[in-house]
Amino acid sequence: MSFDHLGLSEPLTRALTAKGYTTPTPIQRDAIPTVLEGRDLLGIAQTGTGKTAAFVLPSIQRLAADAKRVLPTHVRMLVLAPTRELAGQIAESARAYGQFSRLSVATVFGGTSIAKNRQDLQRGVDILVATPGRLLDLVEQRLCSLSQIEILVLDEADQMLDLGFIHSLKKIVRMVPRQRQTLFFSATMPTSIRELASQYLTNPATVAIKPAATTAERVEQHVTFVNQTEKQALLTMVLRSEPIDRALVFTRTKHGADRVVKLLAGNGIAANAIHGNKSQPQRERALAEFKSGKATILVATDIAARGIDVSGVSHVINFELPNVPEQYVHRIGRTARAGASGIAISFCADDERPYLRDIEKLTRQKVEVRPLPDDFLNQANALRAVRVQAIGADPAPREYGREDHQRGPARPRATHAPQATHGSAQAQGNGRSYANAGRRGGSGGGSGSGSGGGRGRGRPGGGRSMAAR
Ligand code: AMP
Considering only CA atoms, which residue is closest to atom 12 of ligand 1? 50
pLDDT at 11 over 90: yes
Indicate whether residue 70 lines ligand 1 (CB < 6 A): no
For residue 28, the CA-to-ligand 1 centroid distance in Å is: 10
pLDDT at 205 over 80: yes
Q: What gap in Å lies between CA 73 and CA 77, rounded to an integer?
A: 13
Considering only CA atoms, which residue is closest to atom 16 of ligand 1? 50
Whole-number percent of the chain with pLDDT over 70: 80
Indicate whether residue 334 lines ligand 1 (CB < 6 A): no
pLDDT at 422 over 50: no
Question: Using one digit for the tens of pLDDT, what is the confidence trace for 22-80?
Answer: 889 889 999 999 999 999 999 988 777 889 999 999 999 999 999 888 999 999 999 99
pLDDT at 365 over 50: yes
**Helices (DSSP H) in 20-165: which residue ranges?**
26-36, 51-65, 84-97, 114-121, 132-140, 157-162
pLDDT at 406 over 90: no
Indicate whether residue 182 lines ligand 1 (CB < 6 A): no
For the CA of 52, the nearest atom of ligand 1: 3
DSSP assignment letter at 71: P
Residue 93's pLDDT is what? 95
Lowest average pLDDT, out of 134-143, 371-380, 394-403, 459-468, goes to 459-468
For the CA of 23, the nearest atom of ligand 1: 19
- CB half-sphere exposure, 147, CA atoms < 13 A: 7
For residue 19, the CA-to-ligand 1 centroid distance in Å is: 10
Is the entire prediction scored with pTM above 0.85? Answer: no
More confident residue, 340 or 270: 270
